[in-house]
Amino acid sequence: MNKPAPDWHAAAAALRIDGRALIAGQRVAARSGETFAKASPIDGRALGDIARGRVEDIDAAVAAARAAFADARWAGKAPAARKKVLQRFADKILAAKEELALLETLDMGKPIQYSLAVDVGATARTIAWYAEAVDKIYDEIAPTGASALALITREAMGVIGVVVPWNYPMIMAAWKLGPALAAGNSVVLKPSEKSPLTALRLAELAIEAGLPEGVFNVVPGYGHEAGEALALHMDVDAIGFTGSTRVGRKMLEYAGRSNLKRVYNELGGKSAFVVFDDFADVTRAARTVAGSMFFNQGESCNAPSRVLVHEKVADRFLEVVAAEAPKYAPGDPLSGRAEMGALVDETQMNTVLGYIAAGNAEGAKLVTGGARARAETGGFYVQPTVFERVRNDMKIAREEIFGPVMSVIRFKDEAEAIALANDSSYGLQASVWSDNVNRAHRVARALRAGTVHVNQYDEDDITVPVGGYKQSGNGRDKSLHAFDKYTELKTTWLRIDAA
């Protein structure tokens, strides 16, 4: 018999939040005793008080992480032993899926069924995948002459600082934790102050799974306090950062001002979705863009927010988009039926409404949406919004909005489409829709983006790297390539004497 669906409202009412940091295996208050209040964006309810980590808390977490690395309690274990612990960690994530999903939805507002199916599932799969990989990767022997042997080996780096955003709090953390921990590093994770809850629970589950104390520490707090302290720390070897381009720039400065730690930036996007008039199924293209744009309230780094459509099919395409968009009208995130939930907080909602005002002021045509929704709940919701007759030099086409706002731009030919798509400071993802295989390949090659989709937008898997060109970042999360970020490459020369 299937288990009945949980009563999410009752589960939320019964929830008790422990907002203390987790350092050296222990739940601890901030050294200063300070906390900040965390409210839910779904209705403004108070969720709990969260430790306000600062320099001294980061110092303690980094010291714990360094001590764990120095005595090799984790890095010194055989890869097969690390694999077992991380597999147990992934199992524990799945066993706690309802609790984790609820925390994620209450914290940042996304619909509970997606927290459950997408966020928890991807987090567990990421940890399990890196666990599986780590005892199957071999080092190299260089093709040198007979008088020497040169070994090229990968070694754990040491202490990795991880700073993540609030849009996919668990998944973004897992994309760093998976390779960093599997490779033998210690981690200090600073979750977003807007979504600290699941990070703390993940660290507890990791310890229950057998991860030694001090290997995985979580310090909640504000970016300019705990985040800055971590990125400036002289004993942190690398920063795995996902967030805005503005803060990514700071991360590079912090490294320059401190110990030149490696900085891997996964930053913002303004991804182009290019539909040619030789793509027959305009309806499928239009439905796909609506689904991808409004998923996660539009708060996705890869949201296809710049939609370039050939002028011949633009009217037909817009008709379908206009009919699709209202299907994503925000609803109660705990109902299990809402396609869109709440934006993460009032500030983000006002930022999004500000962009909508800018679109109207700059002369773009509002097709649908454009206003706040469900204000009576006390939460922060915005209608799915579509602008057309957008020019690529308008603010809504140039800046990342990070909310449910799509801009549709018309183009005349392939050269113009490529030029428009690439005319952005970002280069995270892009998509090309064409039934002409030559054009599809030609345009995919011409697009300056880390991921290009052809005739679809939603394919994704832990097996492929994701990351950006240009100001969308420099690192690549996921796939075996992610190990490069958290390991040092060592060359060892051995002399072989003649007999």
One DSSP character per residue, 376-405 reads GGTS-EE--EEEES--TTSHHHHS---SSE
Encoded one letter per residue, x for contact with ligand NAD by CB under 6 A and - for no contact, window 293-312 reads --------x-----------
Q: Which is nearer to ligand NAD, 184 or 191 (CB)?
A: 191
Is residue 166 at the binding interface for ligand NAD, with CB under 6 A as the rule? yes
Query: Closest distance between ligand NAD and the C-beta of residue 280, in Å?
Result: 32
Query: Closest distance between ligand NAD and the C-beta of residue 321, in Å?
Result: 22
Q: Alpha helices of 325-436 — where are they, by DSSP H?
A: 346-361, 395-398, 414-422
From the candidates 225, 228, 266, 414, which is the catalytic residue? 266
Query: Closest distance between ligand NAD and the C-beta of residue 297, in Å?
Result: 12
Q: Are 242 and 130 in contact (CB under 8 A)?
A: no
Question: Restricting to residues 309-348, which ones interact with ligand NAD according to CB under 6 A?
Answer: none
Indicate if 99 belongs to the active site: no
Q: Is 133 exposed, middle or buried (0-12, 13-18, 19+ CB in 10 A)?
A: buried
Among 43, 193, 324, 345, binds ligand NAD (CB under 6 A): 193
Among 165, 179, 341, 404, binds ligand NAD (CB under 6 A): 165
Nearest CA to 265 among 485, 8, 14, 3? 485
CA 211/CA 218 separation, integer angstroms: 14
From the candidates 299, 301, 388, 400, which is the catalytic residue? 301
- Residue 244 CB neighbour total at 10 angstroms: 17
Question: Roughly what angle, to the nearest 10 degrees, separates helices 79-95 and 169-182?
Answer: 160
Q: Segment near ligand NAD (CB under 6 A), from 123-131, 158-166, 358-366, 376-384? A: 158-166
- Number of residues that this document lists for the chain: 499
Q: Count CA atoms within 13 Å of residue 324 on its CB side.
A: 22
Q: Which is nearer to ligand NAD, 172 or 342 (CB)?
A: 172
Q: Are 402 and 351 in contact (CB under 8 A)?
A: yes
Q: What amino acid occupies position 308?
A: L
Q: Alpha helices of 135-190 — where are they, by DSSP H?
A: 169-182
Distances (CA, A) of 473 to 41, 196, 298, 423: 29, 23, 20, 17
Among 237, 266, 332, 339, binds ligand NAD (CB under 6 A): 266
Q: Which is nearer to ligand NAD, 167 or 297 (CB)?
A: 167
Contact residues for 367 (Cβ-Cβ < 8 A; gap 6+): 318, 321, 322, 325, 386, 387, 388, 408
Question: Restricting to residues 427-466, which ones interact with ligand NAD according to CB under 6 A?
Answer: 428, 466
Query: Closest distance between ligand NAD and the C-beta of residue 400, in Å?
Result: 5
Q: Which is nearer to ligand NAD, 111 or 331 (CB)?
A: 111
Q: Are 430 and 447 in contact (CB under 8 A)?
A: yes
Among 129, 273, 402, 411, binds ligand NAD (CB under 6 A): 402
Among 400, 401, 407, 414, binds ligand NAD (CB under 6 A): 400
Query: Closest distance between ligand NAD and the C-beta of residue 226, in Å?
Result: 8
- The two tokens of residue 432 are 């090309």
Encoded one letter per residue, x for contact with ligand NAD by CB under 6 A and - for no contact, window 225-264 reads --xx--x----------xxx--x--x--------------
H or E element that contains 476: none
Nearest CA to 408 among 480, 308, 280, 287? 308
Encoded one letter per residue, x for contact with ligand NAD by CB under 6 A and - for no contact, window 465-484 reads -x-x----x-----------
Query: Closest distance between ligand NAD and the C-beta of residue 330, in Å?
Result: 19
* Beta-sheet pairing, 21-23 with 405-411: unpaired
Q: Which is nearer to ligand NAD, 49 or 155 (CB)?
A: 49
Token match 């799969």: residue?
A: 125
Indicate if 228 belongs to the active site: no
Query: Closest distance between ligand NAD and the C-beta of residue 131, in Å?
Result: 22
Query: Closest distance between ligand NAD and the C-beta of residue 495, in Å?
Result: 45
Is residue 119 at the binding interface for ligand NAD, with CB under 6 A as the rule? no
Is residue 414 at the binding interface for ligand NAD, with CB under 6 A as the rule? no
H or E element that contains 252: helix 245-257
152 DSSP β-pair partners: 140, 491
Q: Kindly list the residues in this chain that would bind ligand NAD in the complex (CB under 6 A).
A: 163-167, 172, 190, 192-193, 223-224, 227-228, 231, 242-244, 247, 250, 266-269, 301, 400, 402, 428, 466, 468, 473
Which are the catalytic amino acids? 266, 301
